[in-house]
Homo-oligomer: A and B are copies of this chain.
Amino acid sequence: MNKEELVIAGFRDLFNKLVWLNKSKMEDSLKGYKSSEVHCIEYIGRNEDSNGTKLVESFYMTSGAISKMTKKLIKKGIIESYQKPDNKKEIYFRLTPQGKAIYEIHEELHKEFQERDKAVFEQVTEEQFDSMLSFVEKYSRHLDAEIKKLGADIKSESRDS
């Protein structure tokens, strides 16, 4: 394995561990709420006027899945939907008081996780942070371009048929 593969594989494994561990802790503290639901609550709590499309884009999930999840959260009384007077198509979401309570607990947990991992991050220098961030940014932009290309390909294909 070259270094390129090592970095990718290393980060993938790291993320798997992190997600698994935090998920366990989360579902322990927030009993009754799944980590995917909490993730959704987090997003809606942080972003004013979230709607289905925004959730689809940031979660890399299909619109069908988002539709079902939001419906379930509404049924549970965790979020509520609303519309704007000049737009009858888009449906926005906001947290209910119950949702806000969960959001707060989640924030606390988040701080707990940071505290847990402090020892690791304390050893990272500013230069290392900046270097990693610049790498992430460059790679991310590159992939955006590739995804855009793929989108164009799909369109040109469908034009043939």
Chain A residues with CB under 8 Å of chain B are 3-8, 10-21, 24-25, 60, 114, 116-117, 119-121, 123-124, 126, 128-129, 131-133, 135-140, 142-144, 146-147, 150
Copies of this protein chain in the complex: 2
Do B119 and A17 touch across chains, with their CB atoms under 8 A apart? no
Known contacts A21-B146, A133-B3, A147-B21; is-contact A14 B139 (Cβ 8 Å): yes
Once the chains are docked, how many angstroms separate the CA of A139 from the CA of B21? 13
Do A142 and B128 touch across chains, with their CB atoms under 8 A apart? no
16 CB contacts below 8 A, A to B, read: A3-B129, A7-B133, A7-B136, A10-B132, A11-B11, A11-B15, A14-B139, A17-B144, A19-B60, A21-B146, A24-B150, A119-B142, A120-B135, A120-B142, A132-B132, A132-B135
